[in-house]
Amino acid sequence: MSTFQLNAENLLCPMPVIRTQDKIATLQSGDILEVTCTDPGVLSDIPAWCRINGHKLLDSGQTGRIITLEIEVVHEEED
Amino acid sequence: MTKRKAVALISGGLDSLLAAKVIQDQGIHVEGINFYTGFCVEGHTHAIRKKDKAKPKRNNALWSAEQLGMKLHIIDIAEEYKDIVINPKHGYGAHLNPCLDCKIFMVNKALDWANDNGFDFIITGEVIGQRPKSQRKETMPIIARESGAHDRLLRPLCAQNLPATLPEREGWIKRDELFGFSGRSRKPQIELADKLGFEEFAQPAGGCCFLTDEAYSKKLADLWEFRGEKRYELDDIMLLKIGRHIRPAPNFKMIISREEGENNFLEGYRKQFLHLRTISHNGPLTLIDGEPTADNIEVAARIAARFSQGKQAELVQVKATFPDGQSKVLEVTPILPTEIPQSWYI
């Protein structure tokens, strides 16, 4: 299990979601991804994307204009 | 028996939501796909404009997927999409909307995705007669054929008005449980939404694309005309979404923010452009796109002053900062509204 960072600052939705999705596709189950963003829309969109795709949102917060989301990657087992 | 899989084009509007739900209810595994073209109405503009802050900042495609309990794959096609906007084989709709080419392109991308991921067919929320450019009886087979999807493309909301597709013929889907909607009326969709238990849904007028918007299309046409070629970068089309655009001369235009949210957004671009800021009075940030002369900058400063709190003042100080960091302060008389011809507004 490893922790990865993704800088999605200065991108407007849905680009931070797309960058998160594409990065997570390269990670293993159990890996942690920390995403930093500036578009407040991510506070709605990235948690929604995590819920529908089965990943765990561990934490989210904002310091100044920087929003940070911490996601645990969960890839479904193939049947 | 193998559970069949379908990929649904999800725009975030009601029709794609209903189409996916109707197929889910027939026991098919459905996942959504949503394409980001750069011209999407939601997301960006809501994030930029302060006046939209009260609206929920949700992405409607994600919201739809969550209502349906299905995965959603958002694909960035902005770069490839340029060719569709610039050279649409089937031409434009009422504005610069290449809706038919767009639909063919998206179904083709969805087909590629379906093939790569082992999905059997594609669903769209199209309804015959719903949209004047792309959703007509005669365009339905064109989309199926030119996308390469052929009979793997199913439109659940109007399927009964069209020849049976592969999923219907193979018995994966019961045709008599699909629909025969047609025409501009939204009533059948609203009734179906009610029957399926959807109380809330997005219904963007004219769809979810800026290219169907007359004012936006005029700005894009202006950009192409004065650049002398049909070309754009992602930053160009972002900047067309916001601000007041004024072209006092062919060699430059002004982008003047209309409110705080737009001001903040334009701040991110100020190092790439000559920009104006009123310093004696509060006022909007103005970007200058093009190659203005010194006289042009003077005119632009007078216009910027007009949109500042100093519009009634005798003199307003305006700081012009160039992309190389050099700046100068101009003291100008705010231009009178009657001195700005309507033709300058793009």
Rounded average pLDDT over B93-111? 95
pLDDT at site B209: 87
pLDDT at site B280: 96
Q: Do A21 and B73 meet the contact criterion of CB atoms below 8 Å apart?
A: yes
For the domain made up of A3-72, give the CATH fold.
Translation Initiation Factor IF3 (3.30.110)
- Chain B residues whose CB is inside 8 A of the A40 CB are 47, 57
The ipTM is 0.91
CATH hierarchy code of domain B5-210: 3.40.50.620
pLDDT over 60 (residue B47): no
Average pLDDT, chain B: 92
By DSSP bridging, strand B286-290 and strand B274-278 are antiparallel
Are B62 and A12 an interchain contact pair (Cβ–Cβ within 8 Å)?
A: no
Are A13 and B59 an interchain contact pair (Cβ–Cβ within 8 Å)?
A: yes
Cis check: omega of the bond before A14, within 30 degrees of 0:
yes
pLDDT at site B260: 86
pLDDT over 70 (residue A78): no
pLDDT at site B294: 96
- To the nearest whole Å, the CA of B183 is away from the closest chain A CA by 32
Global pTM?
A: 0.90
pLDDT at site B43: 56
Chain region(s) in chain B for CATH 3.40.50.620: 5-210
Every domain of chain A and the residues it spans: 3-72
Chain A stretch 4-63, residues whose beta carbon is closer than 8 A to a beta carbon of chain B: 10, 12-15, 17-18, 21, 39-41, 43-45, 48-49, 51-54
- Chain B residues whose CB is inside 8 A of the A15 CB are 36, 76
Give the burial string for B29-51 (b: 16+ CB within 10 Å, else e). Answer: ebbbbbbbbbbbbbbbbbbbbee
- Chain B residues whose CB is inside 8 A of the A14 CB are 34, 36, 40, 43, 59, 61, 74
pLDDT at site B101: 96
For residue range B174-191, what is the model confidence (pLDDT) as tens digits?
A: 999 999 999 988 999 999
Comparing B30 with B242, the larger pLDDT belongs to B30
Are B66 and A51 an interchain contact pair (Cβ–Cβ within 8 Å)?
A: yes
What's the CA gap between B160 and B177, in Å, rounded?
9
- Chain B residues whose CB is inside 8 A of the A21 CB are 73-74
What's the CA gap between B18 and B56, in Å, rounded?
22
Rounded average pLDDT over B332-342? 95
Rounded average pLDDT over A29-41? 94
pLDDT at site B59: 87
pLDDT at site B268: 84
**In whole angstroms, how far apart are CA B338 and each of A32, A79, B329?**
60, 71, 25
Q: Count CB neighbours of B94 within 10 A.
A: 12
Spatial CA neighbour of A47 closest among A27, A7, A23, A17: A17
pLDDT band, residue A13 (cuts 50/70/90): confident
pLDDT band, residue B261 (cuts 50/70/90): confident
pLDDT over 70 (residue B206): no
Question: Residue A44, CB half-sphere, CA atoms under 13 Å: how many?
Answer: 19
**In whole angstroms, how far apart are CA A40 and each of A15, A29, B91, B266, B270?**
12, 27, 37, 17, 21
A with B: how many residue pairs have Cβ under 8 Å apart?
67
Helix (H) or strand (E) holding B175: none
Question: Residue B245, CB half-sphere, CA atoms under 13 Å: how many?
Answer: 22
pLDDT band, residue A40 (cuts 50/70/90): confident
Question: Residue A29, CB half-sphere, CA atoms under 13 Å: how many?
Answer: 7
- Chain A residues whose CB is inside 8 A of the B238 CB are 12
pLDDT band, residue A79 (cuts 50/70/90): very low
pLDDT at site B57: 63
Six-digit token pair at B21?
A: 């739900």
Residue in A9, A10, A11, A12 to test binding to B, most B beta-carbons within 10 Å: A12
The proportion of chain B whose per-residue pLDDT surpasses 90, expressed as a percent, equals 78
**In whole angstroms, how far apart are CA A28 and each of A20, A54, A78, B199, B333?**
14, 13, 14, 38, 63
Are B48 and A53 an interchain contact pair (Cβ–Cβ within 8 Å)?
A: no
Rounded average pLDDT over B111-133? 93
What's the CA gap between B330 and B316, in Å, rounded?
8
Helix (H) or strand (E) holding B58: none
Query: Does A50 qualify as catalytic in the annotation?
Result: no
